[in-house]
Amino acid sequence: MIVADQKPLEEILQMLASYKRVLVLGCQSCVAVCMAGGEKEVGIMASAIRLARRQQGRDVEIVEGAAKRQCDDEFNEPFAGTIEKQEAVLSLACGVGVNKLSERFALPILPALNTRFFGEVERQGVWTEVCAGCGQCILHLTGGICPIARCAKNLLNGPCGGVRDDGTCEVKPDLQCAWILIYNRLQQLNRLDYLAEIMPAKDWSADRAGGGPRKRVREDMML
Amino acid sequence: MTGESNLKRILESAGFAVTAELGPPKGADRHVIENGAKLLGDWVDAINITDNQTAVTRMSSLSACAIVKSMGLDPVLQITARDRNALAIQSDILGASALGIRNVLCLTGDHISMGNHPKSKGVHDIDSIQMVQMVRKMRDEGVFLSGDRITGEKPAVFIGAAENPLAPPPEFRVVRLGKKANAGADFIQTQVIFDVERFRVFMAQVRERKLHEKLAILPGVMPVKSAKVMNYMNTKVPGVRVPDELIQRMQASPDAKAEGVTICVQLIQALKEIEGVRGVHIMAVQWEEVVPEIVERACVRKKQPVGKFA
Amino acid sequence: MPEVGQENFEPRLVAFCCHYCAFAAADLAGVLRLKYPSNVRIIRLPCTGKLDALYLLKAFEVGVDGVMVAGCLEGSCHFISGNLRAKKRVQATQELLKRIGIEQERLEFFNLSSAQGNRFAQIAHEMTLRVRALGPLHHAALAANPAAVAKGSG
């Protein structure tokens, strides 16, 4: 899922400072699952904003809502009437939702979240980045553990010299070296031979960094 | 000496090579490089110039190498994959070769978060093994990474890489060295070695795979000024292990600096006896003035008969 | 600071109480005819683990001046760790209150057992004194814009 964090309330209040009618709009997919922008978070956010504005002596009218998926016009359309009555929308979706609403509506769409990464649920309350969406998957060669997402240096040919004895990375004490994980996994799969081959330089043109914004088109699915 | 790498010449004539590291200044004063190079010049075969070591911005390695080269010495251009993409690295290789710089050391580099620009973006377009392969193809096949052809003169560089032999996983380090050999590395300079016994085990694995015939291996050594520094190296630097005996010697000595030099000399002498070790790489880290004494006492190289900087 | 005479101000408090301990303790306080401030409204939860940041914020929104959450003694939760979770949620909400601009002392977490009727009365008393010293919640707003507060919201 896409993992996001709420921005500090001060920053959100700053963005909303000049508005008196605001829709706080959540998204019921990824950011609801990672507890950053679902219906429940919308309620807490709206309440916090009302209280803060009341403390400042500057009232605000807040409408609350949550779209099924803000990344798709179809699910934002039911809010169109409400949105048009506001001065601004505070979106609790990932950045995709903010972009999508901005394309559709003429008023300011403000981000309440910092969109972080594609993550797995490591355990309740902990999310970890494991895929970088680089556009050219090599997980079949690395035992299902991605060195692009999980090695701080994007190495493709084994661990650098910065691995500590306990298998953690030089970058952060609690970060497992991706290549130690890959080594152990390939050992388990009896495929250590993969690591003896030189993996060639990565084709970054499939990645955001190399190729710029990406697009996927399915002619056969278009209406 | 404009034509070829002195380091290569020494290694190909089966000599015992001595290289030393010199870190460029955090400023624009060329005298820092000149003074360091003068100190080392008569005593070592090549001088490694670090590339923003520990991810701290400094004078560029290429410029400092050009200064060293202009003094008639043999520089080793260190390049990290952290600060440059494939385009920049290849253009620097061409430029280095044009300046008469004949050695490069291909490195991944310490992570950007560890230095003085932790909010900058690390590059990591290619890794160190891919860098070795890329430079080898430029030199031997006259092609860039993309397959595009080099026009006219190809870069004439002796290609080095690093290895941290005692970092985990122990069984994989020699495999990784093999990958560097296959990628086209000519020489290897290792992380600092204090634990000769463990390095001996690594070298046995190296010989088993005959990698010592493909690569000239130069273990790294470091003169240490105090027991505290040695302890730090032991506990904080990945892959560096210091035997208790050495830490105790440093603690017991009334003159820790002198003891640190003696330990370094003894390490060189012990490493030299290991089959497959072709030289030594001294990383004095801002204590370059002891390098001549270390080289002389270790009896690994005489001062240049006609010292350039006598 | 508010013009309201603080010594006369009777703060409105809400106590979110666990059914198994604090609620029973409040009951016991009543049975024992212990005196505790009459302006403490008790809301019973099946366990403080049911607590949600939204409950706490809503309480402040509707005009409560202070909120106490009372769960079982640590190690005695009927649902093993509900009280520990509630404690962390209260801490997180205290952080949020600070960002909102509300004194975090207006919210507090307590542990007690069902036999501690006395302790319940004492906590209610202490919390009343604390909130009385802080003054009414919306005093700043009141000073700035009385109309806005009078209208309320939420």
C-alpha span between B59 and B63 (Å, rounded): 7
Q: Report the DSSP beta bridge partners of residue A65.
A: A25
List residues of chain A with CB under 8 Å from any CB of chain B: 152-165, 167, 170-171, 177, 180, 183-184, 195-196, 198-202, 204
Distance CA A205, CA A210 (A): 4
- Cβ–Cβ below 8 Å for A165 and B238: yes
Tell me: pLDDT of C100 over 60: yes
Q: Considering only alpha carbons, which residue of chain C is nearest residue A44? A: C54
Residue C148: enclosing H or E segment and its boundaries? helix C146-151
The yes-or-no verdict on residue C1 having pLDDT over 50 is: no
Q: Which helix (H) or strand (E) holds C68?
A: strand C66-71
* Residue A208: predicted pLDDT: 86
Buried/exposed B54-90: b ≥16 CB within 10 Å, e otherwise: ebeebbbbbebbbbbbeeebbbbbbbbbbbbebeebb
Determine whether A15 is exposed, middle or buried from the number of CB atoms within 10 Å of its CB (0-12, 13-18, 19+).
middle
pLDDT in tens, chain B (310 residues): 457 999 999 999 989 999 999 999 999 999 999 999 999 999 999 999 999 999 999 999 999 999 999 999 999 999 999 999 999 999 999 999 999 999 999 999 999 999 999 999 999 999 999 999 999 999 999 999 999 999 999 999 999 999 999 999 989 999 999 999 999 999 999 999 999 999 999 999 999 999 999 999 999 999 999 999 999 999 999 999 999 999 999 999 999 999 999 999 999 999 999 999 999 999 999 999 999 999 999 987 777 655 666 5
β-pairing verdict for A113-123 and B17-22: unpaired
Interface size A-C, in CB pairs within 8 Å, comes to: 62
What strands lie across the sheet with A113-123, from one edge to the other? A2-6, A113-123, A126-131
DSSP H or E stretch at residue C133: helix C117-134
- What tokens does B19 get? 């290289």
Q: Is 50 exceeded by the pLDDT of residue C129? A: yes
For residues B202 and C25, give the distance between their C-alpha atoms in angstroms, rounded to a whole number. Answer: 69
Crossing angle of helices B86-98 and B128-141, in 10° steps, is: 50
Q: Which of B35-39, C139-143, C145-149 has the lowest mean pLDDT?
A: C145-149
ipTM of the complex as predicted: 0.93
User: Could you list the pLDDT tens digit for every one of the 223 residues in chain A?
Assistant: 999 999 999 999 999 999 999 999 999 999 999 999 999 999 999 999 999 999 999 999 999 999 999 999 999 999 999 999 999 999 999 999 999 999 999 999 999 999 999 999 999 999 999 999 999 999 999 999 999 999 999 999 999 999 999 999 999 989 999 999 999 999 999 999 999 999 999 999 999 887 789 999 999 999 9
The pLDDT value given to residue C102: 96
- Candidates A183, A198, A204: best to mutate against B (most CBs of B within 10 A) is A198
Chain C partners within 8 Å of A50 (Cβ): 61, 153-154
Q: How far is CA B243 from CA B189, B233, B234, B274, B284, in A?
A: 21, 11, 8, 18, 20
Report the C-alpha gap between B166 and B148 in whole angstroms: 38
Q: Tell me, what's the pLDDT at B244?
A: 96
Peptide bond preceding A200: is omega within 30 degrees of 0, i.e. cis? no
Q: What is the 3-state secondary structure (H, E, C) of chain A?
A: CEEEEECCHHHHHHHHCCCCEEEEEEECCHHHHCCCCCHHHHHHHHHHHHHHHHHCCCCCEEEEEEECCCCCHHHHHHHHHHHHCCCEEEECCCHHHHHHHHHHCCCCEEECEEEEEEEEEEECCEEEEEECCCCCCCHHHCCCCCHHHHCCCCCCCCCCCCECCCCEECCCCCCECHHHHHHHHHHHCCCHHHHHCCCCCCCHHHCHHHHCCCCCCCHHHCC
Count other C-beta atoms under 10 Å from residue B297's C-beta. 16
Instruction: Report pLDDT digits (tens) over C79-99.
Output: 999 999 999 999 999 999 999
Phi, psi of B6 (to 5 degrees): -65, -40
The 3-class SS string of C88-101 reads: HHHHHHHHHHHHHC
CB crowding C98-134: b at 16 or more within 10 Å, else e: ebbbbebebbbbbbbbbebbebbbbbbeebbebbbeb
Q: What is the pLDDT of residues B196-218, one digit of tens each?
A: 999 999 999 999 999 999 999 99
C51–chain A Cβ distance below 8 A for any pair: no
pLDDT score of C140:
57
Cβ atoms of B138 and B93 within 8 Å: the answer is yes
Question: Within 10 A of C47 (CB to CB), how many other CB atoms are there?
Answer: 21
Domain ranges (residues) in chain B: 6-297
In angstroms, the CA B64 to CA B37 distance is 10
Distance of alpha carbon C123 from alpha carbon C131, whole angstroms: 12
The nearest CA of chain B is from the CA of A148 a distance in Å of 10
Burial of A161 (0-12, 13-18, 19+ CB in 10 A): buried
Angle between helical axes of B170-183 and B128-141 (0-180°, round to 10): 20
Out of A9, A50, A61, whose CB is closest to C96? A9
d(CA B162, CA B48): 12
The residue of chain A nearest to residue C64, with distances taken between CA atoms, is A51
Rounded-to-integer distance, Cα B41 and Cα B310, Å: 10
- Nearest CA to A88 among A14, A155, A158? A14
Looking at CATH, the fold of the domain delimited by B6-297 is given as: TIM Barrel (3.20.20)
Q: Give the number of residues written for chain B.
A: 310
User: Which residues, 6+ apart, have CB-to-CB distance to B258 below 8 Å?
Assistant: none
pLDDT greater than 70 at residue C147: no
Q: How confident is the model at residue B78, as a pLDDT? A: 98
Task: Label residue B276 left, alpha or beta by phi (over 0 means left) and psi (-120 to 50 means alpha).
Answer: left
Q: Do C54 and A43 touch (CB under 8 A)?
A: yes
- Determine whether B218 is exposed, middle or buried from the number of CB atoms within 10 Å of its CB (0-12, 13-18, 19+): buried
Counting residues of chain C whose pLDDT is more than 70, the rounded percentage is 85
What CATH superfamily is the domain A1-118? Response regulator (3.40.50.2300)
Question: Would the CB atoms of C151 and A59 count as touching at under 8 Å?
Answer: yes
Interface membership of C40 toward A (CB under 8 Å): no
Q: What is the spatial distance between Cα B84 and Cα B90, in angstroms, rounded to a whole number?
A: 9
Amino acid at B223: P
Question: Touching check for A124 and chain C: CB below 8 Å?
Answer: no
CB contact (8 A) between residue A55 and residue C54: no
SS3 C62: coil
User: For position B301, what pLDDT does the model report?
Assistant: 77
End-to-end Cα separation, chain A, in angstroms:
27
Task: Answer yes or no: are the C-beta atoms of B221 and B271 closer than 8 Å.
Answer: yes
CA distances from A192 to A139, A156, A188, A198, B285 (A): 14, 14, 9, 13, 37
- Region C147-152: mean pLDDT is 52
Q: Do chain C and B touch: 3 or more Cβ pairs under 8 angstroms?
A: no
Residue range B259-310, pLDDT digits in tens: 999 999 999 999 999 999 999 999 999 999 999 999 999 987 777 655 666 5
pLDDT at C3 over 90: no
CB contact under 8 A, C100 and A43: no
Q: Give span(s): CATH 3.40.50.2300, chain A.
A: 1-118
pTM, rounded to two decimals: 0.91
What architecture does CATH give domain C13-152?
A: 3-Layer(aba) Sandwich (3.40)
Cα–Cα distances in angstroms (integers) from residue A87 to residues A110, A218, C31, C86, in the given order: 11, 37, 55, 37
- Quick check: C61 and A47 CB within 8 A? yes
CB-CB contact of A41 with A80 (8 Å):
no
